[in-house]
Structures are given as structure tokens and as C-alpha cells.
């Protein structure tokens, strides 16, 4: 039930904001709005205020604003309050305001989330310097080595580890160009990310790409429990764990895995303390189902809590970065460089909305910001039947200095409808195959 309510809330807000943009700009230019609907199909609830009927319809996968004289098929009187009686510039403003409202909502929601503050892994905002290359991984096969810095994936510049993760995860089993910086010069390598499956709390499976690299960071000892094996062996809070039994450590989870089954067996820690490496032998002791040494481990993190202006500025920057990556991914989908398995439909959105709602409003707002950004960009694409398609047709008419015939526009809209139906079938198929039965 949480999933259903969360989905209805997320989609309802995003659709309302989008249609509100069209509605307000239409009223601003004096266009009569006949219907403002959340959803399509049969009207479940409706109320009339002035010339406009406000309603909630049965199919909750969108919405619409119906304006007087909106198309050439409508019964027109030539009245100045009809959509087609307005100039192309005025019609452009009405059409573009829906996507703009979604983009603005994405910025506002993310700014609200950022103002709450967060603690994130420090390496995510750092250059993508490779610390570990897993044996047999796509990265090793391509010739990537520890010490390399990834600076580009395809045509996308990579400045941070977070950008690298996003760029690679959307391209499972697709050969891509990866540009690295090695010994002061750039080298371009061909890498084919392997496909791995991530499973969410609701057992929904997502296929993502991975090349088998880890950052150049180390976990550190946060606390040492008095009287436990770690203290007896000489471990101290603040020690940086370089390796355990010769295996390079990167994340705190690897430390737990390295000792969990070694009860009663000496384990060799290589640590760095005050710039000097030391070797310590620690013998884990059984505690419940796992062996432990009496330490808590932490990865380097950064904390921030920006004020309103800083959060807004940071939100704009992050949305621009994400929008750039979305557009590049869309281009790669068209040329086959990215997998269509990454596309998500209403079922997937509903499941993630439910999970985010259970995590709290901050997670839910963060998800809404991402979906709102995607929705705004999607509607700006020059696909007939979408806002961007109508804008593109008006632009072509302006260049041709004449209005296209009704027959030609109908063909364009039909082509757009077929394309959207193909897209809908793809995303619903993806959603259904992700669900664990």
C-alpha cells in the first residue's frame, strides 16, 4: 500500500506541476482553458470554475490541459482567446512552460534535500584515480592499471568517481572508449563493461555495467574495544588499514569479510600510522556467528550542510551535470552504445517510490527531483505528440514560412505516437523482467 500511495503522490505532483505550467502561461496570454485534467480517460471527479473544468481521470499516467482552438480539427471561431489565434512566440511559451516547470521543480526539490545536509563517501567527489583493478575484470583485460585516472568515457568528461560510476553503470555489455591519464599523457582503451545485477529491498533486479575497478582509498580504524584482540595486538583508533593477509583493503566491508571466518587464526594487518607503515598480527575471536577483533571501521567521508543560496547553486550545478549525462545516454541509446535495459517504466518508478517513501521524505524528494528532471527533458525532445515535437513543428513552419497541411501534421503525430508506444512497451517489459517471482 505504501508503494501505491508513494507512486500516486510522486506522479501526481510531477504531472500537476507540468500541466500547471501550460495552464498558467495559457491564462497569461488570454487563452481559454477548457479542461485541466490529472490522468487520461473517463473522468472520475470533476468540478467547473469559470470556463475551466478541473478533473481527475481514470488512467493516472499523465495529464493534459485542453485549450480552446488548440488544433485545426477543433471547432474554431477565430476568437482571440483560442490557442491557434496566438502568435507562434506566444504558443511556444505555452508549450515550453510545462517542461520548464518540471526542470524548476527538480532544482527546488534537490535544493531542499541538500539543505538537510549529508555525509557522503569522500572519494565520490574526487578524481577517478584507480586504486585496485580486480583480476580477470574488464578493466584488467583492457589494460587499465592502478594509478591510472579515468578522464573520459566515450564523449563524456569524467571529473569524479560518481560520474564514472554513472557512466559505466548505464552501459552493460557495450564496448566503450575509456580515456585514462597515465604518466602525464592520455591513452584511449576499449572496455566492455560486464553485466551485474543489483537487487533492491523489494527484490527488483536492475542490470548495471561494471568494469571491476575501485578507488585509491583505504578504510581506517574508528574505535578499538578495550580488552579485545585488536587492542592486545596494538591497533589504535586512526590507523589506516592498507592490507589484510596481503589483500588490498578499500572499503570497510572488505575488512569484515577478511576476518569473519578466521576465528583462532592469526591475521596479518598492514597499517599506516602517522605516515609510517607497520605490520601487526591479530587473532580474531568468535562472537556469535562471525569472528571479530574488536574494532569499528570507517571509510573517509565528508559532511556538508549548505545554506539556502549555496544549496540552490549546488542544485543547479548538479541538475545540469545530470541533464548532460541523461542527454548523452539518450544519444547512446539511439546509436546502440547504451543498453535499453536501463529504461524504467511506471512499474519500476512505483517500486522505487515505495522504497524511497519507507526511507523517509528526504529520499522521496531526491527521487522526485530526478524523475522531474527526466520528465522535463523528455518532453523537450522533438518527438511529435510531445511538447518538444509541437515546438519543433512550429519551428519548421516558421522556417518554411507557411503552416503545414492537416494531413502532414497527422502523419507526424502518428509517427510520434507509434514511437512512444514502442518506448512504453520497452519500459514495461523491462519493469516486468526486473521483478523477482
Same domain, 199 and 248: no
Q: How much is the pLDDT for 221?
A: 94
Q: How far apart are CA 242 and CA 124, in angstroms?
A: 20
Q: Which residue has the cell 607503515?
A: 277
Q: What is the pLDDT of residues 364-384, one digit of tens each?
A: 888 899 889 989 998 998 888
361-380 helix and 2-28 helix, angle to the nearest 10 degrees: 50
Predicted confidence band at 437 (pLDDT cuts at 50, 70, 90)?
very low
Q: Which domain covers residue 267, as residue numbers?
A: 220-299
Phi then psi dihedrals of residue 239, to 5 deg = -65, 135
Q: How much is the pLDDT for 429?
A: 62
CB 287 within 8 A of CB 259: no
Q: What is the 3-state secondary structure (H, E, C) of 327-373?
A: HHHHHHHHHCCCCHHHCCCHHHHHHHHHHHHHHCHHHHHHHHHHHHH
DSSP state of 204: B
Average pLDDT over residues 23-37: 94
Q: What is the pLDDT of residues 326-368, one digit of tens each?
A: 888 778 777 776 667 666 666 566 666 666 667 778 888 888 9
Domain membership flag for residue 318: no
CB 402 within 8 A of CB 45: no
Grid coordinates in use for 64? 493534459
Domain membership flag for residue 261: yes
Average pLDDT over residues 96-100: 95
How is 414-429 classified by DSSP, letter by letter? HHHHHHHHHHHHHHHH
Percent share of the chain, pLDDT over 70:
89
Q: How far apart are CA 18 and CA 101, in angstroms?
A: 6
Domain boundary residue, one of 247, 274, 299: 299
Q: How much is the pLDDT for 363?
A: 83
Q: How far apart are CA 158 and CA 173, in angstroms?
A: 20
Same domain, 16 and 103: yes
Same domain, 16 and 107: yes
DSSP state of 289: T
Residue 260's CATH number: 2.30.42.10
Domain membership flag for residue 342: no
Backbone dihedral region of 131: left (phi > 0), alpha (psi from -120 to 50 degrees) or beta? alpha
Grid coordinates in use for 384? 511529435
Q: What is the pLDDT of residues 390-424, one digit of tens each?
A: 898 888 888 888 877 777 877 877 887 787 777 77
Average pLDDT over residues 183-212: 79
Amino acid at each position: 500500500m505504501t508503494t501505491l500511495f508513494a507512486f500516486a503522490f510522486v506522479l501526481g505532483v510531477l504531472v500537476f506541476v507540468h500541466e500547471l505550467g501550460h495552464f498558467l502561461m495559457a491564462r497569461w496570454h488570454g487563452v481559454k482553458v477548457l479542461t485541466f485534467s490529472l490522468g487520461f480517460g473517463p473522468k472520475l471527479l470533476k468540478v467547473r470554475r469559470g470556463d475551466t473544468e478541473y478533473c481527475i481521470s481514470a488512467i493516472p499516467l499523465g495529464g493534459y490541459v485542453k485549450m480552446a482552438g488548440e488544433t485545426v480539427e477543433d471547432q474554431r471561431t477565430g476568437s482571440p482567446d483560442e490557442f491557434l489565434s496566438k502568435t507562434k512566440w506566444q504558443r511556444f511559451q505555452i508549450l515550453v512552460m510545462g517542461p520548464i516547470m518540471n526542470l524548476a521543480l527538480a532544482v527546488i526539490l534537490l535544493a531542499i534535500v541538500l539543505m538537510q545536509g549529508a555525509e557522503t563517501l569522500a572519494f565520490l567527489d574526487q578524481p577517478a584515480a584507480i586504486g585496485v583493478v580486480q583480476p580477470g575484470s574488464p578493466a584488467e583485460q583492457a589494460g587499465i592499471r592502478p594509478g591510472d585516472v579515468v578522464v573520459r568515457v566515450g564523449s563524456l568528461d569524467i571529473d569524479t568517481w560518481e560520474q564514472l560510476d554513472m557512466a559505466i553503470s548505464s552501459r552493460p555489455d557495450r564496448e566503450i572508449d575509456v580515456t585514462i591519464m597515465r604518466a602525464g599523457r592520455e591513452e584511449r582503451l576499449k572496455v566492455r563493461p560486464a553485466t551485474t545485477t543489483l537487487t533492491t529491498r523489494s527484490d527488483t533486479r536492475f542490470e548495471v555495467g561494471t568494469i571491476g575497478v575501485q578507488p585509491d582509498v583505504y578504510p581506517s580504524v574508528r574505535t578499538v574495544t578495550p580488552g579485545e584482540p585488536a587492542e592486545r595486538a596494538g591497533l589504535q583508533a586512526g590507523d589506516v588499514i592498507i592490507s589484510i593477509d596481503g589483500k588490498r583493503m578499500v572499503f570497510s566491508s572488505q575488512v569484515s569479510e577478511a576476518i569473519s571466518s578466521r576465528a583462532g587464526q592469526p591475521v596479518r594487518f598492514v597499517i599506516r600510522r602517522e605516515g609510517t607503515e607497520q605490520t601487526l598480527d591479530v587473532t580474531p575471536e568468535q562472537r556469535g556467528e562471525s569472528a571479530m577483533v574488536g574494532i569499528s571501521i570507517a571509510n573517509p567521508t565528508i559532511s556538508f550542510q549548505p545554506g539556502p543560496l549555496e544549496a540552490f547553486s549546488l542544485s543547479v550545478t548538479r541538475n545540469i551535470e545530470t541533464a548532460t549525462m541523461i542527454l548523452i545516454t539518450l544519444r547512446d541509446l539511439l546509436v546502440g552504445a547504451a543498453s535499453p535495459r536501463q529504461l524504467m517504466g511506471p512499474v519500476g518508478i512505483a517500486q522505487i517510490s515505495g522504497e524511497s517513501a519507507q526511507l523517509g521524505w528526504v529520499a522521496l524528494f531526491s527521487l522526485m527531483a530526478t524523475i522531474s528532471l527526466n520528465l522535463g527533458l523528455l518532453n523537450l525532445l522533438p518527438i511529435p505528440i510531445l511538447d518538444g515535437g509541437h515546438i519543433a513543428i512550429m519551428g519548421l513552419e516558421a522556417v518554411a514560412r507557411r503552416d503545414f497541411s492537416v494531413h502532414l501534421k497527422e502523419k507526424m503525430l502518428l509517427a510520434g505516437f507509434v514511437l512512444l508506444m514502442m518506448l512504453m512497451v520497452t519500459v514495461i517489459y523491462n519493469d516486468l523482467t526486473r521483478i523477482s517471482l
